[in-house]
Chains A and B, each alone.
Chain A
């Protein structure tokens, strides 16, 4: 008999919400602070588009398509933040204090339990802002995306979330091995930083290998690029091979990172105190 995963999921969501609501001031502050970071980013690009009409030449990333891209990045990242971020940050605490023991005792999938225990409800503020930014930017585009584009957009946003989550789980596995992960969190931030730009900007003798590496070795460039292209440009101009690859890559990443995580758990030695 397996646990009712949906019921457990609902219980996690409910508990985190109850918890956030007991510290309402904190919750609001979190909303405001995560939004502020977004405004900073937006500010940078507003300054940049004062000086140029598009990024690169002939890439198609003009102001509004780029803001579609920005909204997409924001969607994927805040969803990852909403579901997984707190849990992955807490993983190092769990390891350090030895409380990971409890997770291992439960008759439920350990990865599920450790990934989804706490939801960060405040990051929904960013999701809302991303939706607004997306709507405004789409309104300024010269064409209307078709409903199919909309559906595929959602599918590939989810693929993006899956890719980032897999990377997170992989890093989490490393921290289980090392017994700590403060700098792994930084690593996560810096590596995902590469995913926040259109892949066309990685050009030249150094850029092309980088683009290929982040497309095929650690496919984080697909995270925002694939869904953003689907929506920001007319349907005919799509590179379907890339989208298909992104789909397969996210499935492979999920499976591979899970294998790695379980390997790490098998090697786990709990803190003795």
Chain B
């Protein structure tokens, strides 16, 4: 049985539409217009025990809404979901004791108190055995290197340190399923890296199931083998990260350096992206790559060659744009 099973999951909101201008504001006093917004439009998904899955998608795609549905914070407007066999929005204690949600933009620690006080509160709320609690806390603080900060009020911690504390708070009860919503948002590169390392290590050792949303492709590339792309409330892709490029990008990036300061015109092979003699970078349709290389190597003296996939960010950004465009045309 899969750990997470989602079928036809839907969520729509009613949103008040505010109109511009004085007259409209006055009208708003008496009569309001609402709009139905479909945040999640029927998602099917299965996640197995021990998987580390990334949810990718532009802002407002429905990633966070999906995580919230799976945490039982909100009720769906349709469809079913089971996590470890529980229906999340029933909010059973037994379920809530076995998973955790971390949101990078929110904090649940007491702002004015040292993090260890919040941890103790969690110990009581989750009824963690004193010995287990001490062991887990020490292990986590050791791994994240925040032992010295335990006694400092949370408001005095840096964003990265605070995020580490949030993670510890979420992991104290050793959840079997972990939902991470933008855990590295706003962090500097070093802090991002630390948190990635920690998550990878923790997941490998514990073999827990993790669902992650992030805007940083680095997070995703470092952590997840499987990626689920959501746009406009629907799943566009579900598979390996590498597969995204294969499937959605029809071209490769070829960089050539010529000996003898030569700069031949190669524009008939593809789009030139950069040209600094003797170096040329160009985008070439996949089927044409072999032919092009053969021709160039035959006709010119080449000192260096590289053939790369386009950066993941670019592929995904292109994909979102085309998805949005196609949906927009469908609507009109």
Contacts and interface: CB of A to CB of B under 8 A. Distances in A.
Interface stretch (B105-113, B241-249, B263-271, B324-332): B105-113
Contact of B71 (A7, A99, A101): A101
B215 interface: no
Contacts of A98: 106
B74 A11 contact: no
B73 A12 contact: no
Given A19-B113, A101-B71, A4 B65 contact: no
B210 interface: no
Interface in A104-154: 104-108, 110, 113
Interface stretch (B43-51, B95-103, B226-234, B300-308): B95-103
Contacts of B91: 104, 110
A7 to B, nearest CB: 4
A8 B124 contact: yes
Nearest to B65: A272
A11 B124 contact: yes
Contacts of B279: none
A4 B127 contact: yes
Interface in B56-101: 60, 64-65, 68, 71-75, 89, 91, 93-97, 100-101
Contacts of A15: 110, 113, 117-118, 121
Nearest to A265: B91
Interface residues of B, number: 37
A270 B73 contact: yes
B117 A269 contact: no
A268 interface: yes
A53 to B, nearest CB: 50
Interface residues of A, number: 33
A97 B106 CA distance: 8
B125 interface: yes
Interface of A: 1-4, 7-8, 11-12, 14-15, 18-19, 22-23, 97-99, 101-102, 104-108, 110, 113, 266-270, 272-273
29 contacts: A1-B127, A2-B93, A3-B93, A3-B125, A3-B126, A7-B124, A11-B121, A11-B124, A18-B113, A19-B113, A99-B107, A99-B108, A101-B68, A101-B73, A102-B108, A104-B72, A104-B91, A105-B72, A105-B73, A105-B96, A106-B125, A107-B93, A107-B96, A107-B126, A113-B125, A267-B75, A268-B73, A269-B74, A272-B64
B299 to A, nearest CB: 56
B13 interface: yes
A127 to B, nearest CB: 24
Interface string B107-137: 1101011000110110011110000000000
Contacts of A107: 93-97, 125-126
B71 to A, nearest CB: 6
A273 B185 CA distance: 13
B153 interface: yes
Nearest to B103: A101
Contacts of A19: 110, 112-113
Contacts, number: 86
Of A104, A105, A267, the most chain B CB neighbours within 10 A belong to A105
Interface in B116-163: 117-118, 120-121, 124-127, 153
A12 B13 CA distance: 35
Nearest to A106: B125
Given A11-B121, A15-B113, A268-B73, 10 more contacts: A2-B93, A7-B124, A8-B124, A19-B113, A101-B68, A102-B106, A105-B73, A108-B93, A267-B75, A270-B73
A273 B101 CA distance: 15
Contacts of A101: 68, 71, 73, 101, 103, 106
Interface string B33-44: 000000100000
The 7 closest A-B pairs by CB, nearest first: A107-B96, A102-B108, A107-B93, A107-B97, A8-B124, A7-B124, A101-B73
Contacts of A102: 101, 106, 108
Contact of A99 (B89, B94, B106, B120): B106
Of A2, A12, A102, A267, the most chain B CB neighbours within 10 A belong to A102
